[in-house]
Amino acid sequence: MTTPLFQPGDNIAMKVPAAEFEAVVAFYEQMLCFRVVSREAETVRFDYGGGKHLWIDRVEGIAKSEVWLEVRTKDIAAAADRLKAAHITRCDEIEPLPDGMAAFWIKNPAGVVHLVTEE
């Protein structure tokens, strides 16, 4: 079996309580002057430099913010096998992915969510 090469992805997602969403968006847009790439009712995407994006997502029913990261691999099946062998449990129920997307969700041992995507 080939050992998959994991690399940082281009996306960082911050899941923010609904009551804090506007203030958090204003912080990045007005205080830090990050460029808005796209804006929807529940999500604002900022240019984070170097081809990276920071997504601020408004989420009902959470009490504190969470940061979610993206990791990439060239072989999604091998990556899934390696993570499973290391007892890293997938948590695909955490958020639906688009049909046909070669990706899945995991959490690191500290509970930080990662989206594993195939390059």
Domain boundaries, the chain: 7-118
pLDDT tens-digit readout, 17-60: 999 999 999 999 999 999 999 999 999 999 999 999 999 999 99
pLDDT tens-digit readout, 91-113: 999 999 999 999 999 999 889 99
Instruction: Return the pLDDT at 3.
Output: 66
DSSP codes joined into one string, 13-50 = EEEEEGGGHHHHHHIIIIIS-PPEEEE-SSEEEEEEET
State how far the Cα of 87 lies from the Cα of 78, in Å rounded to an integer: 14
Q: Distance of CA 69 to CAs 2, 7, 19, 30, 63, Å?
A: 24, 11, 23, 24, 19
Domain over 7-118 is classified CATH 3.30.460.10: no
**Global confidence as pTM:** 0.89
